[in-house]
C-alpha cells in the first residue's frame, strides 16, 4: 500500500476532536447508500412492471391481428387458410367481439364477449394455460352431460366471476344491445349461458372485463352471420411481428386488410412506462448527487482540519499530485463503501419482494395484485458505477484546494 492510501485511510479514522467530521463522513456514506438502494429498487419495480404487463398482454392477445378497413371480415376462413400457409405463422384464430351485460341472480356487470374457435384460440394464445377451472373445449353446447337444458358454454374471468358471484356450472344471462331487426326496430338479444371455465391472466382489465364463447354461438347471438372482427396470429418469433405484418398485408392483396402488431396495439402503454422509469430514475439520481455534495463538504472540512499535516507533507517533498490523491482516495472510499452497502440493501429488498411478495397492490388501480419486481444485474452494475463516478467527481474540488495550499503560509503561525 502506497503512502497516499495509508494517509487517506488514516484520515477517515476520527480522533476525539474530529468527531463532527466523522459524523459528516457517516452521513455521506448513508446518503450514497440510500440513493443507490432507492435507484435499484425503483428501476427493479419499473422493469418488473414492463415485463409483467408485456407477458400478460401477449398471453391474452396474439402477436399480430389481421383487421379490415370494412369493419368486419366476411370470407374469414379463406384468410385463415392463407395465413396458416405462411412459414412464420404458428396459428391463426378468428374472433368476434361486442359489448354485453351479464346477469346472475341480482348481480349485474358489463363485459366484452369474445367469440373464438376453441381449437385455434388454444394454439394462438395462452388462454389454455390460464384456466383455473373448466376447459375452453367446453364452450360447445352439451358439455355438461345430463343437464336438463343444453346451453352453450361461457368462460369468464376470475375477477368478473367474483363480482357477479357466479362460478363453474352456474347459468348466467347475457344481454347484447345488438339484436335482431323487428317491427319496432332493433331489439336487444338475450341468451343463457352455462359457466364452463374460469380463467385468470393476472391482468385485471382482462380478468374483470372479458368473457369467451364459441365463435359460432357469438355469430348467432349477435346476428352477424358468417363474419368476424379480426384474426389473431401467433408467430414463431414475436420480434418479427412488424416484418411479418407487412408480408401478410402483401399476401392478402393489401386493402381492405391491414395487420396490427402487439407493439402498435399497446405502444402508448409501454412508452408511458419508459417515461415513468426515466423520470423516477432522474429524481432518485438527485439523492446520489446530494450525497456527492456531502462528500464535497466532508473533504473541504477535512482539508481545513488537516492544513498543518498537508503543509508538513509538502515540506517533506510531497507533490501536488500526491496530495490530490490522498483526498481523492478518501472520497472514493466513502463512495465505494456507500455504493456497496446500497447495492446490497437494494438487491436484498428486491429479493424479498420477488421471493415473498410482501407488498400487495389493489388490482383495480395498478393492474397487479403484488408489486412487480425484476432484478437485472446490468442495472445494478450501471447504478453502482454511476454512484462511484459521482463520488469521484465530488473529490476533485477539495483535492485541488488541498494541492494548491502553500506550506509556508500554513506553517507561519505554528
Q: Which three cell numbers stand for residue 229?
A: 372482427
The count of domains in the chain is: 2
Residues 49, 122, single domain; the answer is no
C-alpha dihedral over 146, 150, 152, 157, to 10 degrees?
-40
Residues 346, 279, single domain; the answer is yes
Residues of the chain with pLDDT under 70: 1, 14-21, 141-149, 179-186, 407-414
Quote the CA–CA distance of 33 and 100 in Å, as a whole number: 53
Task: Report yes or no: 338 and 384 within 8 Å, Cβ to Cβ.
Answer: no
Residue 403 maps to a domain? yes
Prediction pTM value? 0.79
**Structural domain ending residue among the three candidates 191, 226, 254:** 254
- What pLDDT shows up at residue 79? 94
Counting every residue written for the chain, the total comes to 414
Residues 88, 145, single domain; the answer is yes
Residues 41, 96, single domain; the answer is no
Mean pLDDT of the chain: 87
Residues 312, 237, single domain; the answer is no
Residue 316 maps to a domain? yes
- What pLDDT shows up at residue 411? 57
Per DSSP, 413 falls in state T
Residue 340 maps to a domain? yes
Residue 240 maps to a domain? yes
In this structure, are strands 89-104 and 171-176 parallel, antiparallel, or unpaired? Answer: antiparallel
- What pLDDT shows up at residue 46? 87
Residues 293, 340, single domain; the answer is yes
Residue 262 maps to a domain? no
Residue 49 maps to a domain? yes
Domain extent, residue 99, equals 70-254
Residues 15, 144, single domain; the answer is no
Amino acid at each position: 500500500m502506497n503512502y497516499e492510501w495509508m494517509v487517506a485511510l488514516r484520515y477517515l479514522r476520527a480522533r476525539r476532536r474530529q468527531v463532527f467530521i466523522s459524523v459528516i463522513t457517516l452521513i455521506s456514506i448513508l446518503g450514497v447508500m440510500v440513493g443507490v438502494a432507492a435507484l435499484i429498487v425503483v428501476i427493479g419495480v419499473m422493469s418488473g412492471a414492463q415485463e409483467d404487463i408485456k407477458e400478460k398482454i401477449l398471453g391474452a392477445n396474439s402477436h399480430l391481428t389481421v383487421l379490415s378497413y370494412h369493419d368486419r371480415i366476411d370470407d374469414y376462413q379463406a384468410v385463415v387458410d392463407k395465413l396458416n400457409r405462411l412459414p412464420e405463422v404458428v396459428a391463426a384464430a378468428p374472433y368476434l367481439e361486442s359489448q354485453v351485460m351479464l346477469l346472475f341472480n341480482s348481480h349485474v356487470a358489463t363485459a366484452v364477449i369474445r367469440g373464438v374457435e376453441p381449437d385455434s384460440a388454444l394454439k394462438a394464445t395462452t388462454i389454455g394455460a390460464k384456466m383455473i377451472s373448466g376447459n375452453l373445449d367446453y364452450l360447445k353446447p352439451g358439455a355438461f352431460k345430463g343437464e336438463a337444458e343444453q346451453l352453450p358454454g361461457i368462460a369468464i374471468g376470475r375477477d368478473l366471476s367474483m363480482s357477479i358471484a357466479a362460478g363453474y356450472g352456474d347459468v348466467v344471462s347475457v344481454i347484447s344491445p345488438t339484436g335482431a331487426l323487428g317491427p319496432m326496430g332493433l331489439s336487444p338479444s338475450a341468451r343463457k349461458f352455462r359457466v364452463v371455465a374460469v380463467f385468470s391472466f393476472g391482468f385485471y382489465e382482462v380478468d374483470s372485463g372479458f368473457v369467451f364463447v364459441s365463435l359460432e354461438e357469438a355469430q348467432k347471438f349477435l346476428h352477424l352471420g358468417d363474419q368476424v372482427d379480426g384474426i389473431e396470429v401467433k408467430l414463431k418469433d414475436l420480434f418479427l411481428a412488424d416484418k411479418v405484418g407487412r408480408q401478410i398485408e402483401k399476401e392478402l392483396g393489401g386493402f381492405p386488410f391491414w395487420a396490427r402488431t402487439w407493439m402498435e396495439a399497446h405502444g402508448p402503454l409501454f412508452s408511458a412506462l419508459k417515461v415513468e422509469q426515466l423520470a423516477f430514475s432522474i429524481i432518485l439520481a438527485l439523492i446520489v448527487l446530494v450525497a456527492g455534495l456531502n462528500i464535497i463538504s466532508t473533504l473541504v472540512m477535512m482539508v481545513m482540519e488537516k492544513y498543518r499535516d498537508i503543509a508538513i507533507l509538502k515540506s517533506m517533498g510531497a507533490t501536488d499530485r500526491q496530495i490530490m490523491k490522498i483526498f481523492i482516495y478518501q472520497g472514493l472510499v466513502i463512495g465505494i463503501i456507500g455504493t456497496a452497502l446500497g447495492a446490497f440493501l437494494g438487491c436484498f429488498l428486491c429479493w424479498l419482494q420477488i421471493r415473498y411478495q410482501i407488498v400487495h397492490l389493489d388490482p383495480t388501480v395498478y393492474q397487479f395484485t403484488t408489486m412487480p419486481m425484476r432484478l437485472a444485474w446490468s442495472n445494478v452494475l450501471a447504478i453502482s458505477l454511476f454512484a462511484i463516478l459521482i463520488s469521484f467527481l465530488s473529490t476533485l474540488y477539495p483535492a485541488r484546494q488541498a494541492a494548491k495550499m502553500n506550506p509556508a503560509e500554513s506553517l507561519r503561525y505554528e
